[in-house]
Amino acid sequence: MGAVHVLTSNADTGAALRALGGADACLNFAPTAAIWPAVVAGLKNRGRFISVAMPHEPVALSLAWLTWVTPIITGTSVGGRQELADVVALAAAQDVSIAIETIPLHAVNDALDRLSGAKREAPVQGRVVIDFSL
């Protein structure tokens, strides 16, 4: 889709972004503000931060950082049916895929631990979907 580098969020992401010259844009698809330190460390001057997910917890916003970096910070709302249809059609046309792990309902707590990073030996790759028939 045009990305030169794709990084997942961890304690070293901000430094990794800086080593690559800084990010032109950071998109947050996870419903958490935990990625904010990486954004602050890695966004280049006049870079964009777009929150696609809707985390409710606040982030620490430094006015000095705003002045020095002058980022463009915005959010985007959840789309409607037409936007969903357009994204699905685009994904199909471009052969975009994502790893999907199907789990039974009784494994939800374990999956949540893996998503939070509490179980580093078995991180979630892609998305976890609950199959209620299992």
The CATH number of the domain holding residue 33 is 3.40.50.720
The whole-number pLDDT of residue 57 equals: 87
Whether 61 and 84 share a structural domain: yes
Are 103 and 84 within one domain? no
- Quick one: tokens of 119? 């179980």
Q: What is the predicted pLDDT for the residue at 2?
A: 67
- The Cα 104–Cα 122 span in angstroms is 17
Question: Are 86 and 102 in a shared domain?
Answer: no
The predicted pLDDT at position 4 comes to: 76
pLDDT in the model for residue 67? 94
Residue 103 lies in domain: 98-134
Asked if 105 and 124 sit in the same domain, the reply is yes
Q: How far is CA 95 from CA 27, 84, 87, in A?
A: 21, 16, 12
Segments in the chain below pLDDT 70? 1-2, 78-79
**Could you report the per-residue pLDDT of 3-26, keeping only the tens digit for each?**
777 877 788 989 999 999 998 988
Q: Quote the number of domains for the chain.
A: 2
The CA dihedral of 49, 12, 122, 32, to the nearest 10 degrees, is: -30
Q: E-strand spans in the chain?
A: 23-28, 43-51, 72-75, 100-103, 127-130
> Are residues 93 and 108 part of one domain?
no
- pLDDT of res. 78: 67
pTM for the model: 0.58
Q: Are residues 69 and 111 in the same domain?
A: no
Shared domain check, 74 and 21: yes
